Amino acid sequence: MDLNEVRKVARLARLELSDADLNRMAQQLSNILAYVDQLKELNTDGIEPLAHPLPVQNVFREDVPGESLPVDLALANAPNRVGNFFGVPSVLDPADEPSH
Amino acid sequence: MSLIEKTAVELLQMQSRGETTSEAITTAFLNTIQQVDSKIKAFMTVEADKALEQARAVDAKRKSGAPLGAFAGVPIAIKDVLCTKGTRTSCSSKILENFVPPYDATVVTRLREADAVIIGKTNMDEFAMGSSTENSAYFTTRNPWDLDRIPGGSSGGSAACVAACEVPVSLGTDTGGSIRQPAALCGIVGIKPTYGRVSRYGLIAFASSLDQVGPFTHDLMDNALLMEIISGRDPKDSTSIDTPVPKYTQSLNTPIKDLTIGVPKEFFGEGLDSEVEASVKAALKEYEKQGAKLKEVSLPHSKYAVAVYYLVATAEASSNLARFEGMHYGYRTPTKGDLVSTYSKTRGEGFGKEVQRRIMLGTYALSAEARSDYYLKALKVRRLIKNDFDVAFKECDVVIGPTSPCAAFKMGEKTENPLAMYLNDIYTISCNLAGIAGISIPCGFTKNKLPIGLQILAGPFEEEKMFRVARMYEAATDWHLKRAKV
């Protein structure tokens, strides 16, 4: 993996890494990918992928209201609580908002 | 044998005979933690007051004649990846440094219902990613048999605290060998149950199709008892299976007649330490002495297991760990920014290097460009690995080999080379990919007095048979009676 690919993956993964870490990551991921490339020597045509050891399928519970966490408990770990809500940064940078 | 060196079953019997109390037992273990944990560093959190309160409550219950749970008054430590209501659960990560769950994992609920005394939370590789417990964001746990060496990982704290007699038993989790490998390296018993046997509700997920919870113990009777307590269908986990849980403790001492043991030729090749090989082969001879038939089997795709695992597990991890973005709980970067930069800074500052590496690998494996070549390819080879076991279990009752290719290595020896570290799980990983059951039991020591583990693998939901086979060896040897002197 070259540095540009690593930068792209870091952006997809929402990981802000230093240049030194990106360089180290490029080297280590390249080594790991070279190792996992041994899978390419196997012919897997016609083999059904196995994503899970059990034949799982989506499970729906009965549509009956259950017990919920009290608000105080649900918000107890919030890094920023604002009243009965989670305080979060702006989704849009105020500078990017269209003028009216 | 002193109180702290006893097994959980012995401690239960002593209490019922009136020879001791839960308070006395709990105090003895808390004192040991105080004396030795500065050297072992097994615990993230110890809650002495809460533990003593639980112990006194059990003693009062016993005194009043009220019915007692199956683990009444016995202390247990819990890996810090399992949620404990009101007690910090950090996954040994900075990103969950201050996280206090509002609920218990189902295994913890079941232990509380069994009147166990929860003594604390144990150190681990961050988010269970590692084979040495050197990836904890806080400190490295030491191997009680040699303090310069690692205890294994990722459940290193849970293994070390039992080996050091800081608790009689503990819980860990196993995604690619994270119970069996540290059990082997610390000279104790550790089980990876069949996928679906034990609820994963409240287990902070690393790789959802691989993770299972299991106990660490000194011997098989304790392990069987804990498995009876924590196993079984949980309505809160749709991947837990609704199948009866056998009374493992009652059948444990019944040897298997006409036992056929599969010996995979691929587990005895290049990379296996000669002392480990000699001990495992001696164990196989002991089985032969008891009338078992050894049969060479082949698991031809096992050599691909590490490669498959590091694509499947990281792909699942990249998805599971997306929830850690600093909005609802856990660490949030103090740097002001918009939403996406807050996510990225939080995750860049909060996750350690190994976790970041795995998220990156998983994100890449799932990306549009690489999905077919890597993730889907790995899932197809995973099918081949499972098929190998299906064939092997038609020919034999269990498959036996080494748990780890070498005994405990020195701290720092493999930290700079992720691949070398990953290869440490070469014999344990295929069990998780196939979803079958596996256990590691002690089977000897190296000339440096480091423990060696014997791995027994069995088909899905064959834990009862696996316990009985393991017990046949345990009953003929005394490795399980050895205790590390810290």
Q: Is the pLDDT of residue B5 over 80?
A: yes
Q: Is the pLDDT of residue A98 over 60?
A: no
Please give the pLDDT value at position A100: 47
pLDDT in tens, B89-136: 999 999 999 999 999 999 999 999 999 999 999 999 999 999 999 999
Mean pLDDT of chain B: 97
A96-to-A100, B339, B340, B455 alpha-carbon distances in Å = 12, 13, 14, 59
Indicate the Cα dihedral angle B486, B129, B320, B209, nearest 10°.
-90
Distance CA B4, CA B57 (A): 21
pLDDT in tens, B318-357: 999 999 999 999 999 999 988 899 999 999 999 999 999 9
Distance CA B466, CA B335 (A): 53
Please give the pLDDT value at position A93: 64
Please give the pLDDT value at position A96: 56
Query: What is the value of ipTM here, to two decimals?
Result: 0.92
Contacts of B7 (CB under 8 A, 6+ apart): B168, B217, B218, B219, B221, B222
The single-letter code of the amino acid at B125 is D
Restricting to A residues 59-78, those with a Cβ less than 8 Å away from any Cβ of B are 59, 69, 73-74, 76-78
- Enter the pTM of the model: 0.97
Q: Is the pLDDT of residue B251 over 70?
A: yes
Q: State the DSSP code for B292.
A: P
Whether B483 contacts B167, CB under 8 Å: no
Please give the pLDDT value at position B213: 98
Q: State the DSSP code for B126.
A: G
At B44 the three-state DSSP class reads strand
Please give the pLDDT value at position B390: 97
Distance CA B86, CA B316 (A): 28
Please give the pLDDT value at position A57: 80
Mean pLDDT of chain A: 91
Whether B317 contacts B125, CB under 8 Å: no
When pLDDT is cut at 50, 70 and 90, the band that residue A46 belongs to is very high
Helix axes B106-113 and B220-230, enclosed angle (nearest 10): 110
Q: What are phi and psi of B359, to 5 degrees?
A: -60, -40
Nearest to B359 among A13, A28, A42 (CB): A13
**B52: which 2 tokens?**
């003593």
pLDDT in tens, B36-57: 999 999 999 999 999 999 999 9
Please give the pLDDT value at position A61: 83
- What are the start-end ranges of the H helices in B303-352? 305-320, 339-350
pLDDT in tens, B148-191: 999 999 999 999 999 999 999 999 999 999 999 999 999 999 99
Distance CA B200, CA B124 (A): 17
When pLDDT is cut at 50, 70 and 90, the band that residue B423 belongs to is confident
Distance CA B81, CA B413 (A): 26
Burial class (CB in 10 A: 0-12, 13-18, 19+), A20: exposed
Whether B127 contacts B93, CB under 8 Å: yes
Task: Check CB contact of B482 with chain A, cutoff 8 Å.
Answer: no
List the single residue in A with minimal CA-CA distance to B325. Answer: A14
**B243: which 2 tokens?**
């199948």
Chain A interface disruption, residue of B88, B201, B335, B380, most A CBs within 10 A: B380
Please give the pLDDT value at position A94: 60
Chain A: nearest CA to B10, how far in angstroms?
Answer: 37
Please give the pLDDT value at position B153: 95
Active site (catalytic) residues of B: 79, 154, 178
